[in-house]
Structure 1
Amino acid sequence: MSTEVKKEKKSRSFRTPDTYVIIFFVVLFAALLTYLVPLGQFDTQEVTFQKADGSEDTRTVPIPESFRIVTNENGNPVKEGVGLFKPFGGVGALNYAFEGLASGSKWGTAVGVVAFILVIGGAFGIILRTGAVEAGILSMIKKTQGKESLIIPILFLLFSAGGAIFGMGEEAIPFAMIVVPIVIAMGYDAITGIMITYVATQIGFATSWQNPFGVAIAQGVSGVPVMSGFWFRFIMWIFFTVVGITYTWIYAKKIKKDLTKSVSYESDAFYREDFKGKEHIDVKFELGHALVLLTILLGVIWVVWGVVKHAYYIPSIASQFFIMGLVAGIIGVIFKLNDMTLNDIATSFRDGAKDLVGAALVVGMANGIILVLGGTNPGEPTVLNTILHSIGNAVGSLPSAVSAWFMYLFQSIFNFFVVSGSGQAALVMPLMAPLADIVGVTRQVAVLAYQLGDGFTNLIVPTSGCLMGVLGVAKLDWGKWAKWQIKFQGILFVLGSVFVIVAALIGFN
């Protein structure tokens, strides 16, 4: 048997499981844990802290020393095993899809993020229907021939700064809708587009000195002055941004030489076919195209202003992009771009949302994992509370620098279950901060372990709505992304470990 046939047979014999399959088995594992791990509960308290802008914020947090295992009338630990099905809106293992999708609020996972993804998809469906983005891409390619690679460091730096300064995350989804087709048209692949948009934002998010949705909340609930530790974090941000740019640039140059080496080669065909042969066409870039692109630019400025100045979040940002899409559609109708009609605005919105339905479903299903474990409320009896307390005790028995590293490891793993940066900070930091006092490291180091563990693993956990939204835009399956990204994840983890250990040894405060 020839080597080629063997390789082909091997590739057919093993296929990376679909994201839905992975989540299904994780749900079953979570259900099994409910039979093995007793319920645990904390008392809670309201913690008020001053934010960097002088305003106050309040969070409900657990009281570490109040933890207790829930017992029955005989004094035995209570284990409430989750059944396969539960009627009347209850949570059973196989209720996870619907209950996950319907849970939460418009301010976050799951229903808020699901709605955000669908509205964003619809809005950009309208924008793309005008043809302005395509015309702009083809025009830019002609003007930048020989200088295409400059787009990588410039965009990576901008998106990383967005993650560091105002916690950019969900906003990367609509930007990916523009950037991914651009880099594919330039001869790169979707992986390159994901790296310079979403990955860059999360590197900035993880190493930020002021991110209002992560490090600022973690510092506030830990009793650490908000915005403190600036220079250490700023140097760390520069270092990891340079690492990300370098890694992406090397990868992109290799892929441009041979696109077939890309794990997204097959899925990229959707965009490649769209641009095939058009690069030699004399593109007619009209006034209507320019007005649509101007609408996008002004819309982005509006979003950034809203987030930075008024802390706009999911509901406001989704509506801003909806307005952006609506205005672009009206411009398309007035200037007859691609022969657009009013009905085309409606159909393109529907088609754009349809393209991201798969990603939206993943967000809900992934949230079902948390519901099976009892939810993230520290004041309610849950399996997750018991796991959280047990790991905290285990970390506290180790030497200081090693304890700091295990905090980082724990945060990296725990992010699979609680992917919200602010939610994880409010749940975990009240436990990790006093634990840091016990093991002899500063609370600032505990915050550092949290932000690195949370931010970096956002790049790979399938429970991240932002990641799944971006992968949906790129039409790339999570399994293929994880297979490619695991190497970069390892590099980030090792370098993050070095920073955490150094911070512990120098008494970073």
Structure 2
Amino acid sequence: MSDQKLAAAKAEPGSIGDNRLPRASTRTDPINPYVLLFFMLIAAAVATWVAPAGEFARTVTNGVSFVVPHSLKWMPQQGVLPGFVFVALAQGMIKSAPIIFLILFTGGALAVLDATGAIRSTLNAIIRRDASSELTTIVIVCAVFSVLGTLGVVNNSVVAFVPIGLLIAESMELPREIGAGMIYLGTYSGFNTAILNPVTTGLSQRLAGLPMFSGMSFRIGVYVVFVIATVLFLIARTRAYRRSGEAKAGEGSMDEPRPASSERLSARHLVVVGILLVCLSVFVYGASSRHWAETEMIATFLVIAIASGIVGGIAPSKLADTFLSGCARLIHGALIVGAAQAVSIVLSSGKILDPIINMLAGVLAPLSPTLAAVGMFLSAALMHVGISSGSGESAVLIPIFAPLGDALHLTRQVSVQAVLLGEGFVNCFNPTSGVLMAVLATSGIPYTRWVRFVAPLLLVWFVICVVAIAIGVAIHWGPF
């Protein structure tokens, strides 16, 4: 890559490994999601003065409110005043406080883990172990990063690990698309289902009134299918390149990528990884059997951060600074939950949310439950182009889709998964995604070339999404 292109690759906060991440030139910068949400908030406030107002009857079961289908009752206009827009923002932040602090503390804990060097050293050790076999390496790298993606450990910070994939591709004389794909596609094959991701699945389920991380068994099955499809795609691409004899890097390559970490795996690193696994396992048990939720998960991340910092030899003051810097890196994604919640508050206060739900139900009602669920999936995918934050989109859509699912006789688990799959599917070709643009800038891969490379996998992922949703509808995936 030329000096001019390198200079154009700017940096933005967000990595757990680097204070600043490279990104593509400003021509590809998406609209700031806060600006987009504020315009949506204004539009929602205006709509309360022009859209018909009404409200569904609701029943409460085990503390969860359910819409009674076909019970919409019209009422006089309930327009909100301009000043309420800002009140709604404050209310949204307060109402979303548990989720906001969960996201912030997740960033703090991951920053401490990264400072110990344990995650990077463990990854390097796993990758180097079987570096002699390219097929084995592809399987191992994809599997490891899919696990990190589905746990929410590595999502936005995936850019920091892309140089590992580039080095592997370089050593195996493969194109850098495959190197970046092993890391990025591997991570997002896990993120698509987000089995234990508090920022996507956890948030969406709590907004829908579902037990946190419920429905895990079915979600694990879908996760395995995504990973297998991704591994087979990369293996097929590797064999195709071998048969064609194409150049390993092609045009547009960049200078030699730097290693993500050269630190060797030590006993101290293994203890830190053990702490992480034990704490996450304890939380999974608590969430499944003792109804643990955001508060307990916040506490879990505090334990992970403090214990890992002590074992990693980080001084107390440095530990606190590192934790707070990690929180700061995720504040952009954390506060967007409250901003998105404000849109729902305005719509609800103006009594137009239920009529919107009723309209969508009217559009989808003639369809079978399966087609209606697929319609939710496609709507979420389209919305994700405008709101590239998974947590922000969930906060906007779940309050609408959960009661809409009730009206269409869909379980809330299916409604939630339709939104999550819509978000995940778009991530690997979304031109408004800052993470994807940063990955491509780091790898020196033009966007159009990346889309051509990944298109067959996206088609397979789309089929997996539709089939998973259809199965979820058929088995009445719950608990409700």
- Which TM-score applies when normalising by structure 1? 0.62
Within 5 Å, give how 1:308-457 maps onto structure 2: 308-333=288-313, 340-372=314-346, 374-375=347-348, 382-396=351-365, 398=366, 400-401=367-368, 404-410=370-376, 412-413=378-379, 419=394, 426-433=402-409, 450=415, 452-457=417-422
Q: Which amino acid in the other structure matches residue 130 of structure 1?
A: T
Distance 2:90 2:440 in 1: 24
Q: Is the 8 A contact 2:193 2:222 kept in 1?
A: no
- Which residue of structure 1 lines up, in the alignment, with residue 143 of structure 2? 154
Cα distance change of structure 1 residues 115 and 366 upon mapping to structure 2, 3 Å threshold: same
Deviation for aligned residue 1:202: 3.2
Q: 1:212 to 1:331 in 2, by over 3 A?
A: closer
**Partner SS, residue 193 of structure 2:** helix
What is the one-letter code of the residue matched to 1:408? V
Distance 2:123 2:220 in 1: 34
In 1, the alpha carbon distance for the partners of 2:425 and 2:104 equals: 22
Name the aligned partner's letter for residue 46 of structure 1: V
| 1:35 aligned onto 2:49 | yes
Mapped to 2, the partners of 1:114 and 1:311 lie a distance apart of 20
Aligned to 1:17: 30
Question: C-alpha separation between the residues in 2 aligned to 1:99 and 1:472?
Answer: 33
- Residue by residue over 1:433-478, the C-alpha shift from the partner in whole angstroms, topping out at 9 and shown as x without a partner, is 1xxxxxxxxx6xx77863552231232789xxxxx999999899xx
1:144 and 2:130 are equivalent in the alignment: yes
Mapped partners of 2:183, 2:352: distance in 1: 39
Matched, 1:61 2:57: no
The 10-residue stretch of structure 1 (122-131 or 489-498) with the greater mean CA deviation from structure 2: 489-498
Contact 1:128/1:134 (8 A) holds in 2: yes
Deviation digits for residues 52-93 of structure 1, max 9, x if unmatched?
A: xxxxx542112223211212xxxxxx151552xx1xxx334x
Runs of 5+ unmatched residues, structure 2: 9-23, 167-177, 242-246, 384-391, 428-432
SS at match of 1:45: strand
Q: Is the 8 A contact 2:110 2:305 kept in 1?
A: yes
Shift of 1:38: 1.8
Structure 2 partner of 1:45: 59
User: What is the Cα deviation at residue 431 of structure 1?
Assistant: 0.8
SS in 2 for 1:145: coil
Q: Secondary structure, in 3 states, of the residue corresponding to 2:28? A: coil
Tell me, yes or no, if the aligned pair for 2:208 and 2:402 is still in contact at 8 Å: yes
Residue in structure 1 matched with residue 85 of structure 2 by the alignment: 91
Residue 163 of structure 2 is matched in structure 1 by: 184
1:139, distance to aligned residue in structure 2 (A): 3.6
| Cα pair distance change 1:426/1:363, threshold 3 Å | closer
Aligned equivalents of 1:180 and 1:473: distance in 2? 7
Kindly indicate whether the alpha-carbon contact (under 8 Å) linking 2:143 and 2:227 is maintained by their aligned counterparts in 1.
Answer: no
| 1:327 shift after superposition | 0.7
Which range is displaced more, 26-35 or 319-328? 26-35
Matches within 5 A, 1:136-285: 136-146=122-132, 147-155=136-144, 171-172=151-152, 174-176=153-155, 181-182=160-161, 184-187=163-166, 193=183, 195-197=185-187, 199-203=189-193, 239-247=225-233, 257-258=248-249, 275=259, 279=262, 283-285=263-265
In 2, are the aligned partners of 1:408 and 1:450 still within 8 Å (CA)?
Answer: no
> Counterpart amino acid of 1:184?
P
AA partner of residue 458 (structure 1): E
Deviation at 1:342, TM superposition (A): 2.0
Number of residue-to-residue matches in the alignment: 408
Cα shift at 1:235: 7.8
2:363 is matched by which residue type in structure 1? A
Q: Distance in 2 between matches of 1:431 and 1:151?
A: 44
Alpha-carbon distance change, 408 to 220 in structure 1, aligned in 2, over 3 angstroms: same
> Which segments of 5 or more consecutive residues in structure 1 lack a partner in the other structure?
48-56, 72-77, 105-109, 161-167, 334-339, 434-442, 463-467
The residue aligned with 2:423 is 458
CA–CA distance in 2 between the matches of 1:176 and 1:381? Answer: 36
How far does the alpha carbon of each residue in 1:398-457 deviate from its partner, in whole angstroms, 9 at most, with x for none?
A: 3x54x7424431464369687269866752332111xxxxxxxxx6xx778635522312
Alignment deviations for residues 340-374 of structure 1 (CA, whole Å, 9 cap, x no partner): 322111111122112222222333323233233x2
C-alpha distance in 1 between matches for 2:437 and 2:341:
18
1:436 alignment partner in structure 2:
none
Mapped contact 2:131–2:137 kept (Cα < 8 A): yes
Whole-angstrom distance in 2 between the partners of 1:449 and 1:139: 39
Question: 2: CA distance between counterparts of 1:492 and 1:309?
Answer: 32
Tell me the percent identity: 16
Please tell me the residue identity of whatever aligns with 2:58.
T
**What one-letter code is carried by the residue in structure 2 that aligns with 1:394?**
V
1:80 corresponding residue in structure 2 = 79
1:405 counterpart letter in structure 2: L
Matching residue of 2:173: none
Structure with larger Rg = 1
Task: Provide closer, same or farther for how the CA distance between residues 158 and 391 of structure 1 changes in structure 2, counting only shifts above 3 A.
Answer: same
Q: Is the Cα–Cα contact under 8 Å of residues 179 and 193 in structure 1 kept in the other structure?
A: yes
SS in 2 for 1:114: helix
